[in-house]
Amino acid sequence: MENRSEPLNYKISCTGISKNFGDTKVLEKIDLFVKENEFVVILGPGQSGKSTLFRIIAGLETPSTGTVKIEDKEVSGPEPTVGFVFQRYTLFPWKTVMGNVEMSLKLKNMPLQKRREIAQHYIDLVGLGGFEKSYPHQLSGGMKQRVGIARAYANNPKIMLMDEPFGQLDAQTRILMEQEMVRIWEAEKRTICFVTNNIEEAIFLGDRIITLEGKLPGRLGLAYEVNLPRPREFTDIEFLKLRQKITDDTQLTL
Ligand SMILES: Nc1ncnc2c1ncn2[C@@H]1O[C@H](COP(=O)(O)OP(=O)(O)OP(=O)(O)O)[C@@H](O)[C@H]1O
């Protein structure tokens, strides 16, 4: 299956992206086109260049070849319109939930009342109402990731890049956060690229799944449209069929 359909105004267009670090070729000929408000999952094992691809899309790394465009503008430096959620919790430990979520707005010199209003909206959206004054060390892993999502949303990004955000959570919390992610995204749509190595997570979340092949250099492989209504059921027969197909195609372990 193609991972591109034309003609469209894409939110993200990566054309011919390759990246070398010295003699190490990390990415090769990546063509990735993402539509507005699409939830794209990049499915691949560790060490396949996923983080490097995200850093290139966000303008934090320059590609060796190829171009990235956000809407019709070529990315040539750090992109303020891109929000990140990482696997590791990157909260400021000395700041409260509110302090963390409103941080980027404060840096933009937004007046206190306005930024509190926006931050509160996203704290509520991620289900953390009542925890505004808590500090990161008082929160569980799932709650910390909720703060990370609220913080990314508060900055009003055009694009959210989520790099294995639930990878460190226990299985139960992970499933809960996947459900929450769908709820949050349906409440406030964004263009999302989400990286995971977990097939079930990919099918549960994505409009489209694109595989990233495992050995360096990372190359995009097969793509799958996920035409299942949300909320999806892990035990639904169509869900299981797609899981089997991707497993057979990719040889990734379940
Ligand atoms: N700044 C850098 N300098 C040199 N080599 C790098 C740099 N960044 C990444 N690499 C190389 O690229 C490879 C892939 O890194 P990257 O973090 O993009 O992969 P990943 O798929 O996100 O891995 P993981 O799942 O383990 O986080 C690494 O093994 C490393 O060899």
Closest protein CA for atom 29 of ligand 1: 47
> What integer is the mean pLDDT of 130-158?
95
pTM: 0.92
Same-domain check for residues 7 and 41: yes
Percentage of residues in the chain with pLDDT exceeding 90? 85
Ligand 1 midpoint to CA 134 (Å): 34
What pLDDT was estimated at residue 199?
95
What pLDDT was estimated at residue 2?
47
Same-domain check for residues 74 and 95: no
| Domain end position, chosen among 126, 156, 186 | 156
What pLDDT was estimated at residue 252?
52
Same-domain check for residues 194 and 241: yes
**pLDDT of 75-120, one tens digit each?**
999 998 899 998 887 899 999 999 999 999 999 999 999 999 999 9
Q: How many domains does the chain have?
A: 2
Which residues on adjacent β-strands are paired with residue 160? 83, 192
**pLDDT of 40-57, one tens digit each?**
999 998 888 999 999 999
The DSSP code sequence of the chain is: --S--SS---SEEEEEEEEEETTEEEEEEEEEEE-TT-EEEEE--SSSSHHHHHHHHTTSS--SEEEEEETTEE--S--TTEEEE-SS----TTS-HHHHHHHHHHHTT--HHHHHHHHHHHHHHTT-TT-TT--GGGS-HHHHHHHHHHHHHHT--SEEEEESTTTTS-HHHHHHHHHHHHHHHHHS--EEEEEES-HHHHHHH-SEEEEE-SSSSB-EEEEEE---PSSP-TT-HHHHHHHHHHHHHH----
The residue to mutate among 19, 42, 47, having the most atoms of ligand 1 within 8 angstroms of its beta carbon, is 47
Same-domain check for residues 163 and 205: yes
Same-domain check for residues 168 and 253: yes
Given the CA of residue 46, which atom of ligand 1 is nearest to it?
25
Same-domain check for residues 54 and 3: yes
Residue 196 is part of which domain span?
1-81+157-254
Same-domain check for residues 148 and 162: no
Is omega for the bond preceding 7 within 30 degrees of 0, making it cis?
yes
Which residues on adjacent β-strands are paired with residue 224? 209
Same-domain check for residues 172 and 102: no
Closest protein CA for atom 11 of ligand 1: 26
Ligand 1 midpoint to CA 229 (Å): 35
**Minimal CA–CA distance to 161: which of 59, 28, 15?**
59
Does residue 187 contact residue 218 with C-beta atoms inside 8 Å? no
Structure tokens at 167: 């990878």
Same-domain check for residues 64 and 124: no
Q: CB under 6 Å to ligand 1: residues?
A: 21, 24, 26, 46-52, 216
Q: What is the CATH number of the domain that holds 204?
A: 3.40.50.300
Same-domain check for residues 184 and 227: yes
Taking the C-alpha atoms of residue 47 and residue 67, their distance in angstroms, rounded to an integer, is 22
Closest protein CA for atom 12 of ligand 1: 26
The residue to mutate among 23, 52, 162, 197, having the most atoms of ligand 1 within 8 angstroms of its beta carbon, is 52
Ligand 1 midpoint to CA 244 (Å): 29
What pLDDT was estimated at residue 214?
75
Ligand 1 midpoint to CA 156 (Å): 28
| Domain end position, chosen among 130, 156, 182 | 156
Same-domain check for residues 138 and 199: no
Ligand 1 midpoint to CA 168 (Å): 18
Closest protein CA for atom 7 of ligand 1: 21
**pLDDT of 173-218, one tens digit each?**
999 999 999 999 999 999 999 999 999 999 999 999 999 987 889 8
What pLDDT was estimated at residue 148?
95
> What integer is the mean pLDDT of 130-155?
95
Taking the C-alpha atoms of residue 153 and residue 122, their distance in angstroms, rounded to an integer, is 7
Same-domain check for residues 72 and 134: no
| Domain end position, chosen among 156, 175, 195 | 156
